[in-house]
Structure 1
């Protein structure tokens, strides 16, 4: 993947030799030196202050010498930070309001993730059973002209159970954004008919969180996939409970760190 952005967390002492400390923290995830599971980047640089993707400094700290700013370009061109911005610094000097908002949103979504499944199973006994999509598709394939795609789709989506489900506010999770279940009803019905835990997993997988490199060597890739620096793959890693814990609430993890922990925005290529 190109253009990976990750928030790297380092202990305060790393500031004495930041480049070395970052290199050591990132090394387990270098693309050509590690197993496929940990193959993430092939180039990295401190970035965020100059393009607005980094951190805002808290009021009163905009000129602090403790803030971290972007590395120069490969040709040596400097990349000064935008006013009030930086690529990182001690957590206590950075405005984490966006991460707090993310944490609140994630918590709300997780609390509501099972509501559509519960609604579906409350409504199901009150309506005729849903005919599967395959029934309508088979009819269309047998007689495409007599039973066109538009009719196939209409007959499937106007079934009473699906209509009752879509009309109920509990079928939606507004915090996920503009997602209409009607745009995904085939896969949706299959998920609703399945296991509740699996349905909740599918819902929460829609939550977009940033990449994170934790103090203890977890890279939460794409905000959802924990990758451990010390293990060969996810199937044999005995520490996955820790990884899933970090993945649950990246904003909350960052907000709970000590004030002197360094948070640094990196741009990686992979």
Structure 2
């Protein structure tokens, strides 16, 4: 990774260095890439051999830590995320239609932050959870697993935005090292969109690799 691991002496003239790494290794750590069907055994694919503890990793053939961009299947997991978001949206709206509309937890927390003594955090939790539809959701763990614990916030936007956000969240991790050596922080909707656009524009032979590091 040198010189991009920042394991070097501090330079007073360099202002963009944010961290110095203690260690790093090739490891998707739950964020492995899907492999294009038919290329699972391609020798150009990259799979880290060990976990941080030194135990052998057993990465299934359908996944890898990296490889040429052409061998990485970005679209299948994106499509799966879109389908799941659509299913969750429809399931929540069908379920919630029998109850008064719920307010997202953020509304209650905003009141707490304005008046923490007059409206303590215990009341925030109680008022949110005792909304009829949220109470009813608590009795449906199967549905709650699909829609999440705060569906009033999750499904506040239209279906198109929900699906777009779900698709954009599949690939990004918290940082991106570009081919020209720039470290970019990936945060928020705009950051995730840039991450996806960048990967989609890469040459087919460009190597894309997940790296686990600690600074």
Normalising by structure 2, we get a TM-score of 0.49
Larger relative CO (CA 8 A, sep 6+): 1 or 2? 1
Name the larger-Rg structure: 1
Higher helix share: 1
Normalising by structure 1, we get a TM-score of 0.40
